[in-house]
Structure formats: C-alpha cells, structure tokens
Amino acid sequence: MTDRSFRTALVAGGAGFVGSHLCERLVADGLRVVCMDSLLTSTLDNLGELLREPRFSFIEHDIIQPLPAGLRADLVFNMACAASPPLYQLDPIHTMMTSVVGTNNLLVFAAETGARLLQASTSEVYGNPTLHPQPEHYFGNVNPIGPRACYDEGKRAAETLCFDYLRHGLADVRVSRIFNTYGPRLRACDGRVISNMVSQALADEPITIYGDGRQTRSFCYVDDLVEGLLRLASYEEALEHPVNVGNPQEISIAEVAELVQRLVGTDAPIIFCPLPVDDPCRRRPDITVATKLLAWQPKVDLPDGLMRTISWFRKNRERTAPPIVRGPSFSGANQPIKIER
C-alpha cells in the first residue's frame, strides 16, 4: 500500500466503527494487525471474522494507561476516542484524557520505535465554523468550556502534541481531520444522526430532528474514509499540517431525514427536539489538499452509502440496543457523569 512497506499496524480504537473497517482493510492489504481497544464504546462484534485471522490479534487496553510492554508495530493508527456527542459527553474527563494522555502514550511508542503514527483528528476542531467550507488553515471557532469541548479541545491538544513531536524530529506523524462518517457497524445506540434516523425509520418510530433541521453536515462513507486514511498514512513526505478527509457533498439534517424516510420506505413521522448546546450550524470539508497530495476523493454518494448502511442495519438489528435520543428534557450539561479510573 506504500513505498515504505509497513509490516505491522497497531490500531488503537480498532474495535470501533471506523477502526474495525480499517483493521479489515489492513489485513486484506497483507499487514499484521494488532488491534487495541478499551471496548468502552466499541464492541468485539465489530471484529467478526478478523478474530480468527492469524495475522490479527486483539488487546483489551485503554490508551490512557501506559502501553503494554513488548508491543511491536511500524505503523500506528490512533482511532481511539468516543466520537458520538452524547457518548463522549457521558464521561468528558475520560474523553479529554483519551485524546491528550492516550495520544501522548502512542506518540512515545512511535518515538521509541520509529513507527509512523496517523492521528485521527476531527472536523470538530473547527467548532461552529465562521469560514465555509473549512480548509485546513482555518483555526476554528470552538467553545472551550462547553459540553463538546472535552472532545474538540482534546483533539486540538492531540494535534498540538503530534506537530510538536514532528517538528522536534521525535516522531513521524500524519494528521487527518475526519468529517462525519457513516456506514455498516455504526451502532444503533450510538446517538449520532445517521444511526438514529436509520434505526428509527426501520422500527417505524418517529425520526428525531434536533433544532429546525437547517443545520448541515457532509457525510463520508466509511470505505472512502479508510482509503483516504491509508493514502495519508502512506504519504512519504512529512506534512506539517493536517489533511481534511471527508465528503464535500453538504446536506441539511432535514434533508437527511427525508432521504432516510424515502430509502427505508416508511411513513414514520418526523419530530423536532431541542438543538444540543454548541451544535455546529454548517460543516463541509475543503478537500483541495487531499485531492492534490493524495489523489483522493470520495466515490460513494449519500443515497448509495445509505442504502448499504440500511441493509446492514436490517440484517443486524437484533444485535444493537435502541437509539439514544435527546428528548425534550435532554440537556447535555445535566447528563450523569460516570467516572471510572
């Protein structure tokens, strides 16, 4: 997959939604894969057949803790962090520490072993953007003390660490900024918009729009994302800037609800719930850099990707818990905080 031929990838967060697709692709490309995951918001179900694959191994470990001794890898992917707003807000301190302490633990490993590290950063570093679409040089507009800050600021701090390790010649790092991603293995109980709406539509239950539905997102199918991440991980020159990896096709949340209704073929009503605090109004990646440097652009459009996602949800419904929905009484700030350390 690259000029420098990598043999073993360590995938932190490899049992999660994106991480499990990445593990599958890496094994298919001939690498050995060590998947490390805390299983706090992910599941071994995502690994399926991989668990029987000789070139694949699984370690249950939270990257906040020092990494186990004796690990070997020449390529590290840091995909470890809860990514769904209701889930990452459940234990915000743990979320932030996953990005800061966890990323530092992986960077130390990369520095000590010479492994290359690909950091999964996020469009959330742009916060509620005042520049549209968002290019990598935009500094963002993040509320540092709001309920989303544990994720946004954690990921921003992780980027800072990555570029300091890179500039000081300590580690070979690539940083991707991932925009909204969807596809098979999103968990119905994850609380994000695609998983909520698809599982609601399949159950003929009301489809929940937060706010008036005019806010926009740009959704990237998971296979396209994985291809972009692999191209960035394989890019030979050190890049002192992040690279947006997302699908620039922008759509309002109300349009997503109608599309899901139509593709599932349901008369389930649409209901409106309060907009969460600091919910970004618009989000769309400028992917000029990825297109030029990596010759990458997404191939799967939203109706096609949604059909693939819907058919996976149809087959796997019994496996997943009901969606987390922010009902009229929901307030992110008042959610119980579960702290396990």
Find the DSSP H helices in the chain.
Answer: 17-28, 85-88, 92-97, 103-113, 149-167, 193-202, 222-234, 253-264, 288-294, 302-316
CB of 11 to ligand UDP, least distance (A): 22
Nearest Cα neighbor of 197 from 273, 294, 111 is 273
Q: Which is nearer to ligand UDP, 25 or 284 (CB)?
A: 284
CB of 325 to ligand UDP, least distance (A): 6
117 Cβ neighbours under 8 A, 6+ residues apart:
76, 77, 78, 106, 107, 110, 162, 171, 172, 173, 174
Strand order across the beta sheet in which 56-60 lies: 56-60, 32-37, 8-12, 75-78, 116-122, 172-178, 243-245
Q: Which is nearer to ligand UDP, 50 or 302 (CB)?
A: 302
- Are 148 and 85 in contact, with CB atoms under 8 Å apart? yes
CB of 85 to ligand UDP, least distance (A): 5
- Are 135 and 77 in contact, with CB atoms under 8 Å apart? no
Answer yes or no: 138 catalytic.
no
Q: Which of 82, 173, 193, 264 binds ligand UDP (CB under 6 A)?
A: 193
Q: Which of 253, 287, 290, 294 binds ligand UDP (CB under 6 A)?
A: 253
Sites for ligand UDP among residues 80-99 (CB under 6 A): 85
Q: Give the total of residues touching ligand UDP (CB under 6 A).
A: 15
CA of 27: how far to CAs of 20, 50, 75, 157, in Å? 11, 8, 13, 31
Whether the bond between 276 and the residue before it is cis, its omega within 30 degrees of 0, is no
Determine which one of 151, 182, 210, 221 is catalytic. Answer: 151
CB of 313 to ligand UDP, least distance (A): 14
Site map for ligand UDP, 259-298, x if CB under 6 A?
Answer: ----------------xx--x-------------------
Nearest Cα neighbor of 261 from 253, 270, 251, 271 is 270
Does residue number 196 form part of the binding site for ligand UDP (CB under 6 A)? yes
CB atoms under 10 Å from CB of 258, counted, come to 15
Q: Tell me the β-bridge partners of 252.
A: 216
Span from 91-99, 154-162, 204-212, 237-245 in contact with ligand UDP (CB under 6 A): 204-212
What is the C-alpha to C-alpha distance for residues 184 and 224, in angstroms, rounded to an integer? 13
Q: Which is nearer to ligand UDP, 138 or 235 (CB)?
A: 138
Q: Tell me the β-bridge partners of 245.
A: 178
Site map for ligand UDP, 153-182, x if CB under 6 A?
Answer: ---------------------------x--
Q: Which is nearer to ligand UDP, 28 or 334 (CB)?
A: 334
Sites for ligand UDP among residues 209-248 (CB under 6 A): 209-210, 215, 217
CB of 275 to ligand UDP, least distance (A): 6
CB of 229 to ligand UDP, least distance (A): 18
Span from 44-52, 205-213, 220-228, 237-245 in contact with ligand UDP (CB under 6 A): 205-213
CB atoms under 10 Å from CB of 65, counted, come to 12
Q: Which of 208, 234, 247, 261 binds ligand UDP (CB under 6 A)?
A: 208
Does residue number 146 form part of the binding site for ligand UDP (CB under 6 A)? no
Residues 70, 73, 117, 305: is their CA dihedral positive or negative? negative
Does residue number 320 form part of the binding site for ligand UDP (CB under 6 A)? no
CB of 65 to ligand UDP, least distance (A): 27
Q: Which residues are catalytic?
A: 151
Contact footprint for ligand UDP (CB under 6 A): 85, 180, 192-193, 196, 208-210, 215, 217, 253, 275-276, 279, 325
